[in-house]
Amino acid sequence: MNEKSPLQRQSDIFDIVVVGAGPGGYVAAIRAAQHGLRVAVVERAELGGVCANWGCIPTKAMLHGADVAHAIEESAALGFAVAGVAFDMGSLVGFSRKVVARLTGGIASLLDANGIEVVRGSATVAGKGRVRVDLPDGVGRDLRADHIIVATGARPRSIPGVVPDGDRIWTSTDALRPADRPASLVVIGSGAIGVEFASLYRDLGTEVILLEAAPAILPVEDAAVSAFVEKQFTARGIAVHTGVSIDSVQAGPASVEVRFRTAAGADVSTVAERVLVATGVAANSEGLGLAELGVRFDRGFVVTDEWCRTAVAGLYAVGDVAGAPCLAHKASHEAVVCVDRIVGEPGVHPLDRDYIPGCTYSRPQVASLGLTEKQARETGRPLQVGVFDLVANGKALALNEPSGFVKTIFDGETGELLGAHLVGPEVTEMIQGFGIARGLEATAESLADIVFAHPTVSEAMHESVLAALGRSLHWPPAKATAAR
């Protein structure tokens, strides 16, 4: 037996060990360190997880490029004669990687500044309170902690019979580092990821076909939002097919053939340069030793209670690995709730998974919170629904993008905000306002009392609330009450 000195022994003993340094894991580690606990975070790849490295952040950097392409396109209307425009995909990818490097470097310094030990290697939960880390140099380390938080995230999931190969058949990761701009792209799946890439590549000049198995694109959004985005996409030259079933995806040396059946029952074959499979994510829950300890799973996702506890003593899971919605901000929030609960911080509330805002950074942007109108109607509660069209918003007109709307759904009895659905310019920055309102239990009346600055796109939020109360100021009375 290898006798360790007390200090050697203590160097492997922590109060909390976090597995995974994505937006769930690194936030959990920082929060725990803020409470004065001794914390280690284990990461096998890059700090920041998918979000910072292959998700939220690099896509936004690439979409910024798409916005510039769009700006050049519309610049003539504003008096610019832009000539000799050329585009280099490598430079845009390079920009996005630089953004990623800056951000992940920031996470490393944050962890360091909080006194958190970063252990690089692959973790397994070897037993209750024990994390085995296999280090790259072949040596292992056995960490011990009363509390282990699994924040291992998720990875792109394909559909049966379609195997991404990183060349012709892409996952979102491949779509973030293309060697060149594809002339044509078939996007399978129209959740936030599929829609963002369809929009991005279309603005860069690629011919895009967007295929969705559900009856509408952006299936989790309000039906009016889905219909609006589909209309906008179609107008931009994106071929949108909903209600399709994919028969086969066959990669050739220079192209890939996609066969699918349309909603009408017609068999269609299309050939494109690349295919992007964006059909959801699978939890990174295998190979960690969780099942052996008695952790329960639901379709691969770890089952947790409202405090992120698994069925195993001292073992917790936060973020994507603990189930939908698979969003970075949900992971970070769960991380804080989980840690605060562990240390007995007063006033901790469980996360209400129904009220996590969701954003899609396509053109037009989509942002939403809470119930769709259909879901709200299904509750049987009396509703007050307001819609305000951005065609009557001065700032949207000035931005040359006066299309989109803000829909708000209130409980007619309690005045509680049940849902907010926004589509149009800048709406991803506006949704926080409704999140704050909901969080502070504002009512429709109290929102109507707020002074909104003019001229802003956000004024449409106010008008939407006024519309819900039947008090629209900037919309004629007859149309204000008309159903959308």
List the catalytic residues. Answer: 454
CA atoms within 13 A on the CB side of 482: 7
Strand partners, 257: 250, 271
Angstrom distance (rounded) from CA 186 to CA 274: 7
Using the minimum distance from each CB to other proteins, give the nearer residue, 98 or 349.
Answer: 349
Report d(CA 40, CA 446) in Å as an integer: 45
List, as own/partner pairs, every contact residues 75-79 make where C-beta atoms lie below 8 angstroms and the sequence separation is at least 24, other chains included. Answer: 77/400, 78/400
Q: Which is nearer to other proteins, 6 or 237 (CB)?
A: 6
Least distance from other proteins to the Cβ atom of residue 347, Å: 11
Residue 412 is a binding residue for other proteins (CB under 8 A): no
Binds other proteins (CB under 8 A): choice among 2, 6, 109, 266: 6
Answer yes or no whether residue 440 interacts with other proteins by CB under 8 A.
Answer: yes
Q: Of these, 311, 324, 351, 469, which contacts other proteins (CB under 8 A)?
A: 311
User: How far, in Å, are 57, 89, 150, 199, 335 from residue 24 at the CA level?
Assistant: 15, 31, 9, 28, 5
- Shortest distance, position 34 Cβ to other proteins, whole Å: 9
Judge whether 38 and 14 are in contact, CB under 8 Å. yes
The single residue among 268, 282, 324, 343 that binds other proteins, judged by CB under 8 A, is 343
> Shortest gap between Cβ of 312 and other proteins (angstroms)?
5
Among all chains, which residue has been given the structure tokens 């189930």? 323
142 HSE (CA, 13 A, CB side):
8
* Residues within window 22-51 making contact with other proteins, judged by CB under 8 A: 35-38
- Under the binding rule (CB under 8 A), the answer on residue 382 touching other proteins is no
Whole-angstrom Cα distance, residue 66 to residue 58?
Answer: 13
- Closest separation between CB of residue 355 and other proteins, Å? 17
The least CB distance from residue 294 to other proteins, in Å, is: 3
Q: Burial of 356 by CB count in 10 Å (0-12 exposed, 13-18 middle, 19+ buried)?
A: middle
φ/ψ region of 189 (left if φ > 0, alpha if ψ in -120 to 50, else beta) reads: left
In the list 17, 195, 244, 342, the residue contacting other proteins (rule: CB under 8 A) is: 342
- Contact range with other proteins by CB under 8 A, out of 5-13, 169-177, 426-434, 468-476: 5-13
Determine the 3-state secondary structure of 279 from DSSP.
coil
> With CB under 8 A as the contact rule, which of the stretches 78-86, 227-235, 250-258, 336-344 interacts with other proteins?
336-344
Q: Is the CB of residue 444 less than 8 Å from the CB of residue 410?
A: yes
Distance CA 378, CA 362 (A): 29
Q: Which stretch binds other proteins (CB under 8 A): 50-58, 110-118, 157-165, 311-319?
A: 311-319
In order of 69, 184, 226, the CA distances from 162 in angstroms are 32, 19, 26
Choose one: 181-189, 358-366, 380-388, 439-447; the region binding other proteins (CB under 8 A): 439-447
Sites for other proteins among residues 248-307 (CB under 8 A)? 293-295
Binding segment toward other proteins, per CB under 8 A, in 168-176, 198-206, 318-326, 342-350: 342-350
The least CB distance from residue 448 to other proteins, in Å, is 10
Distance CA(383)–CA(417), nearest Å, equals 10
Among 443, 456, 469, 484, binds other proteins (CB under 8 A): 443
- Judged by CB under 8 A, which stretch of 166-174, 256-264, 357-365, 442-450 contacts other proteins? 442-450
Choices 170-178, 310-318, 385-393, 424-432; region in contact with other proteins by CB under 8 A = 310-318
314 touches other proteins by CB under 8 A = yes
The span from the first CA to the last CA of the chain, in angstroms, equals 74
Nearest residue to 276 (alpha-carbon basis) of 343, 349, 178: 178
Q: Does 379 help bind other proteins (rule: CB under 8 A)? A: no
Minimum CB–partner distance for residue 338 and other proteins (Å): 12
Mark 240-265 as b/e (b = at least 16 C-beta within 10 Å): bbbebebeebbbeeeebbbebeeeee
The CB-of-379 to other proteins minimum distance in angstroms stands at: 20
The β-bridge partners of 277 are 188
**CB-wise, 165 or 345, nearer to other proteins?**
345
Residue 180 or 345 having the CB closest to other proteins? 345
Kind and range of the H or E run holding 385: strand 383-389
- The residue within the footprint of other proteins, chosen from 57, 126, 302, 312 (CB under 8 A), is 312
Site residue total, other proteins (CB under 8 A): 29
Residues within window 131-150 making contact with other proteins, judged by CB under 8 A:
146-147
Residues between 160 and 189 that touch other proteins (CB under 8 A): none
Out of 79, 344, 347, 380, the residue judged to bind other proteins by CB under 8 A: 344
Nearest residue to 42 (alpha-carbon basis) of 185, 151, 180, 161: 151
CB of 462 to other proteins, least distance (A): 16
Instruction: Catalog residues that contact other proteins under the rule CB under 8 A.
Output: 6, 9, 13, 15, 35-38, 128-129, 146-147, 293-295, 311-314, 342-345, 415, 440, 443, 445-446, 449
